[in-house]
Amino acid sequence: QVQLVESGGDSVQAGGSLRLSCARSGDTVNWECMGWFRQAPGKEREEVAHIHTGSGSTTYADSVKARFTISLDNAKNTVFLQINSLEPEDTAMYYCAAGHVSIETKSCAFYYWGQGTHVAVSS
């Protein structure tokens, strides 16, 4: 079964940057989609970005589009999330996820999540 292990979370000042990593292991599935989600205290989990592993095409939530960059190192089975100009509103647990393109919706559907890495941003 796939294992997703996130790292890179930290406590930082507003305006700083972080690079989150997610290492995938435990399977040989060619996951079509890898994504990053976050969940702040008292809020629903939201998708912030995903990447199609074949084409490299990316999609971002409007709220993070200008500051977040998702990338993939297929050789190392690792997906990254570069976060710049951090804001206190970015404080959350960040999770990576693996999935496939849904035949019905033609969009990514995620099936496995990691345990998360925590990002805390102070003003």
Per-residue pLDDT of the chain (123 residues; tens, 9 = 90+): 899 999 999 999 999 999 999 999 888 888 999 999 999 999 999 999 999 999 999 999 999 999 999 999 988 799 999 999 999 999 999 999 999 999 988 899 999 999 999 999 999
Give the position of tokens 């939530």: 61
- Please tell me what DSSP assigns to residue 41: T
Give residue 8's pLDDT: 98
CB 76 within 8 A of CB 90: no
Give residue 99's pLDDT: 95
Of 54, 58, 55, 53, give the one whose Cα is nearest residue 69.
58
Alpha-carbon gap, residue 39 to 94, rounded angstroms:
7
Give the position of tokens 């976050």: 38
Give residue 76's pLDDT: 77
CB 6 within 8 A of CB 114: yes
Give residue 88's pLDDT: 96
Alpha-carbon gap, residue 73 to 21, rounded angstroms:
10
CB 60 within 8 A of CB 35: no
Give residue 59's pLDDT: 96
Give the position of tokens 């205290």: 41
